[in-house]
């Protein structure tokens, strides 16, 4: 039986940590920082960490020794990751979002697409020009805070509220921006970040992104959130980070976790009974490699069995700890 290494973050067992860096470079001391297995994580933990950092921070590239340094530090030390390292450790969508943030920090596209699909990026200095970007070709002024046409005398929130309350104006504005979807759209709510109105799209996952250039449609800030109760998709306050308890109580995906086994609350059962009852379900789903037709449940397939095994291992360790503590008390009493 081959020896498996344990991820120090999620406690999953892997053959190796090939994707996790074993050495970082300190920019101040110019010394290499080596990471042992206790400071190397699995690819899933790296993707979770980096996707949150990319969501939270502005993108910055610094030229250094022929490579581009980012402003995202290593998970285990303060050394910044290179762009190549970020690309190796994260999903392609994550590095694309970081690149788009870096581009939009100094360059913008005309929102009216005045030159069609070939509309180029134009230089933009936020410090010198403020929040208004003016197209050099057609002179359209755009507010870069909400990525909508300039609204002199109104805040972004006031402008979005006025547009939402005037659907005729919304349709007319959408037509000028060559957006053929919006005339038939039914506004379902506001973006949690910039308050741009959005429509519900019939899908199974609830993933919603506020439209922007990266999504190849005009408007929006690029913020990603859950369309049901508008919580962030990743990062602080998201279910991805804090579990389903982050969903609002009115949301169908909300539930609290048991503090002992970190599973869905089971007030009428002990943790041991609940996990034993769950095991046949996990084995059956693992054998089928898929859920039953029409079934929508977060604990299915391999993920269910993995979480079950992790919870069961935790309970076994707790039981062993209690037994050791009990035996230690007995030996102490006998010695006295």
The yes-or-no verdict on residue 211 having pLDDT over 70 is no
Q: Do the beta carbons of residue 69 and residue 61 sit within 8 Å? A: yes
The C-alpha atoms of residue 14 and residue 11 are separated, in whole angstroms, by: 10
Decide if 220 contacts 190 (C-beta within 8 A): no
**Among 15-29, 162-176, 222-236, which stretch is predicted with the lowest mean pLDDT?**
162-176
Q: Which residue has the tokens 């009493």?
A: 333
* Domain 5-104, CATH: 3.30.40
Torsion of CA 126, 129, 130, 133, to 10 degrees: -80
Contact 12, 306 (CB under 8 A): yes
Question: Range with the lowest mean pLDDT among 42-56, 147-161, 168-182, 227-241?
Answer: 168-182
Query: What is the residue whose two structure tokens read 């762009």?
Result: 83
> Given this model, what pLDDT does residue 303 score?
46
Tell me the C-alpha distance between 247 and 239, whole Å: 7
> Is the pLDDT reported for residue 284 higher than 50?
yes
**pLDDT one-digit tens code per residue, 98-146:** 877 777 667 777 766 666 556 777 877 777 777 888 887 778 888 877 7
CA distance 34 to 271: 40
> Do the beta carbons of residue 57 and residue 71 sit within 8 Å?
yes
**Domain ranges (residues) in the chain:** 5-104, 110-239, 271-322
179 Cβ neighbours under 8 A, 6+ residues apart: 217, 218, 219
pLDDT band at 262 (very low <50, low <70, confident <90, very high): low
Q: Please tell me the predicted confidence (pLDDT) of residue 294.
A: 38
More confident residue, 138 or 58: 138
With a threshold of 0.75, does the pTM exceed it? no
Confidence of residue 181 (pLDDT cuts 50, 70, 90): very low
Tokens of 241: 């980070």
10 Å CB burial of residue 261 (0-12, 13-18, 19+) is buried
């Amino acid at each position: 039986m081959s020896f498996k290494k344990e991820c120090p973050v999620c406690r999953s067992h892997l053959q190796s940590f090939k994707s996790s860096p074993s050495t970082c470079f300190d920019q101040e001391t110019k010394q290499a920082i080596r990471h042992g297995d206790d400071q190397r994580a699995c690819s899933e933990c790296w993707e979770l960490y980096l996707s949150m950092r990319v969501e939270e921070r502005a993108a910055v590239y610094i030229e250094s020794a022929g490579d581009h340094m980012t402003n995202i530090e290593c998970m285990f030390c303060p050394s910044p990751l290179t762009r190549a390292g970020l690309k190796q450790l994260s999903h392609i969508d994550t590095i694309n979002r970081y690149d788009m943030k870096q581009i939009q920090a100094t360059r913008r596209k005309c929102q009216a697409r005045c030159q069609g699909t070939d509309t180029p990026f134009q230089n933009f200095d936020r410090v010198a020009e403020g929040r208004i970007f003016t197209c050099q070709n057609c002179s359209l002024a755009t507010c870069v805070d909400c990525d909508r046409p300039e609204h002199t005398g109104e805040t972004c929130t006031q402008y979005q509220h006025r547009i939402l309350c005037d659907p005729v104006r919304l349709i007319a504005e959408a037509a000028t921006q060559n957006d053929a979807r919006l005339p038939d759209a039914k506004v379902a709510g506001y973006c949690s970040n910039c308050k741009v109105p959005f429509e519900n799209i019939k899908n199974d996952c609830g993933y919603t992104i506020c439209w922007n250039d990266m999504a190849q449609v005009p408007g929006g800030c690029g913020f990603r959130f859950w369309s049901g109760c508008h919580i962030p998709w990743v990062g602080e306050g998201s279910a991805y980070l804090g579990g389903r308890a982050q969903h609002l109580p009115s949301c169908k995906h909300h539930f609290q976790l048991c503090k002992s086994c970190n599973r869905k609350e089971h007030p009428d059962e002990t943790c041991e009974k609940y996990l034993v009852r769950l095991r046949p379900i996990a084995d059956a789903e693992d054998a089928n490699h898929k859920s039953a037709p029409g079934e929508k449940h977060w604990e299915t397939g391999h993920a269910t069995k993995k979480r079950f095994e992790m919870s069961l291992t935790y309970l076994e360790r707790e039981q062993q700890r209690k037994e050791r503590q009990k035996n230690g008390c007995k030996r102490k009493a006998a010695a006295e």
